[in-house]
């Protein structure tokens, strides 16, 4: 039976990092999820059927605003720790400091259909204003490679799957592990996938929330470090790789009022979060991070002639930086702990991380 406390258990009932009693720092939001940030919703389309084990893939959609408000920009910043991957829309974020619409995460060879379908969704919902104002769209779509467990060359993700993830985005607890775009992903040579976490901090006298969602598909087992303990070498099971060949995407949301350059600084701190887990961000890994703020809503495009942005002073950002580091680290753990062992394409098998064994190693 699923357990109702979202801090300690995923919706599937599997214990999260806090449910195992791991000594994690920081104060999470009530859901310990990116959806603790007001207005942020998540939708998932999962393609996984034991009758067709070669198909282990899907789509995750992160909506920074309610469906009806997705033509209103969100201020944003990006950082690429290692560029063997793709996140579309980042050039414009670097120029203007904002993006519109859903953020979609999928596998490498389905990036194009995710981008196309996001445009389709935006046109279907906002065409009169788009045509009246002569607006264009540059969606944010990102990928990690699931070709070990999924028949990635079959390109099984369709426009309908992406639209379903966007339409199905809701608030509340988020399924983790082998779901959505994380369905076929591998992390530290255990089954990986979708994970989330959050932190609440007080900054400049205001309580704000930082929430993170990761698609974790990176790392080698001997590197794995949890709560400062090098545990990877002591975890049993068959290894998968001889060198790192995965990636991680992190999406960071906050309701703190921040400038785009400050959000870029938050995105950089995701690299420290994955570093806590042991990865050096290997040559073959695409480690790309996006941070956005739901504050300072300028209204639907086009931009007003004058923009008035409130922002927290730079000297007050350290608590937000730490919130990102802690949340990314914990979200990766939650992805692995919620994932199920999987047999996929060509009969390849990847085991799930044994949470009890992990907790014993950390406590030793």
The set of catalytic residues is 247, 285, 287
For residue 180, the 8-state DSSP code is G
Contact 249, 90 (CB under 8 A): no
d(CA 290, CA 75): 11
Q: Can you point out the beta strands (E) in 294-333? A: none
CA angle in degrees (0–180, nearest 5) for 301-304-309? 105
Q: CB burial class (10 A; 0-12, 13-18, 19+) of residue 296?
A: middle
Q: Which residues contact 276 (CB under 8 A, 6 or more apart)?
A: 225, 325, 328, 329
- Cα-trace Rg, the chain: 19
Give Dmax over CA atoms of the chain in angstroms. 64
Task: Please state, as a whole number, how many other Cβ atoms lie within 10 Å of the Cβ of residue 66.
Answer: 13
Task: Say if residues 48 and 178 touch (Cβ distance below 8 Å).
Answer: yes
What are the residues whose beta carbons fall under 8 Å from the beta carbon of 266, sequence distance 6 or more? 77, 210, 252, 254, 258, 291, 317, 320, 321, 324
Rounded to an integer, what distance in angstroms lies between the CA atom of residue 326 and that of residue 163?
A: 32
């Amino acid at each position: 039976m699923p357990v109702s406390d979202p801090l300690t258990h995923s919706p599937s009932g599997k214990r999260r990092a806090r449910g195992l009693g791991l000594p994690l720092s920081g104060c999470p939001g009530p859901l310990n999820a990116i959806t603790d940030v007001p207005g942020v919703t998540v939708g998932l389309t999962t393609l996984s059927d034991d009758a067709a084990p070669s198909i282990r893939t899907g789509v995750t959609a992160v909506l920074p605003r309610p469906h009806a408000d997705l033509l209103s920009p969100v201020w944003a910043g990006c950082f690429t720790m290692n560029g063997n991957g793709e996140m579309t829309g980042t050039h414009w974020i670097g120029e203007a400091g904002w993006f519109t619409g859903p953020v979609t995460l999928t596998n490498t060879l389905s990036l194009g259909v995710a981008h196309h379908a996001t445009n389709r969704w935006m046109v279907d919902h906002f065409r009169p204003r788009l045509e009246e104002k002569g607006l264009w769209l540059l969606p944010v779509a990102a990928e990690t490679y699931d070709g070990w467990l999924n028949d990635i060359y079959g390109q099984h993700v369709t426009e309908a799957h992406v639209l379903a993830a966007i339409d199905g985005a809701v608030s509340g607890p988020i399924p983790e592990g082998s779901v959505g775009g994380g369905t076929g992903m591998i992390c530290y040579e255990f089954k990986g996938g979708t994970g989330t976490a959050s932190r609440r901090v007080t900054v400049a006298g205001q309580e704000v929330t930082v929430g993170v969602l990761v698609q974790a598909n990176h790392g080698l087992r001997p590197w794995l470090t949890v709560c400062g303990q090098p545990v990877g070498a002591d975890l049993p099971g068959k290894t998968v790789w001889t060198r790192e060949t995965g990636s991680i995407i992190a999406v960071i949301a906050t309701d703190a009022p921040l400038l785009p350059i400050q959000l870029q600084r938050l995105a950089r701190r995701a690299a420290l979060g994955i570093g806590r887990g042991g990865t050096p961000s290997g040559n073959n890994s695409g480690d790309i991070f996006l941070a956005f703020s739901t504050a300072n809503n300028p209204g639907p495009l086009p931009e007003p002639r004058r923009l008035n942005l409130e922002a927290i002073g730079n000297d007050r950002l350290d608590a937000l930086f730490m919130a990102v580091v802690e949340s990314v680290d914990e979200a990766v753990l939650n992805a692995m702990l919620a994932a199920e062992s999987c047999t996929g394409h060509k009969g390849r098998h990847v085991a799930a991380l044994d949470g009890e064994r992990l907790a014993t190693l950390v406590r030793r």
